Amino acid sequence: MSERRLTPAPNYTNAALIMLGVNLTWVFVTIWAMFGLIPVLLLATAINHLIHRKAARTR
């Protein structure tokens, strides 16, 4: 086996968060175009609630 030195992995956190925002935006726009604004607002509220529950649980 070769004795290569392992380098640390790059930090892709910012890229992942930006792509999450991009994907969430197109999903919301698609749902808005198909069903209207109310389902988008309900989904956003549900996602927000889940984020707050997870944050409270990890504290």
Q: Exposure of 33 by Cβ count < 10 A (0-12 exposed, 13-18 middle, 19+ buried)?
A: exposed
pLDDT at position 30 over 70: yes
pLDDT at position 6 over 90: no
Domain ranges, residue 51: 14-58
Over residues 34-45, the mean pLDDT reads: 97
Q: Would you state the pLDDT for residue 1?
A: 62
Q: How many domains does the chain have?
A: 1
Q: Compute the distance between CA of residue 24 and CA of residue 9 in angstroms, rounded to an integer.
A: 26
pTM above 0.85, yes or no: no
User: Is 5 inside a domain boundary?
Assistant: no
Q: What angle do CA 7, 18, 23 make, to 5 degrees?
A: 125
User: Is 40 inside a domain boundary?
Assistant: yes
pLDDT at position 37 over 80: yes
The mean of the pLDDT values for the chain is: 95
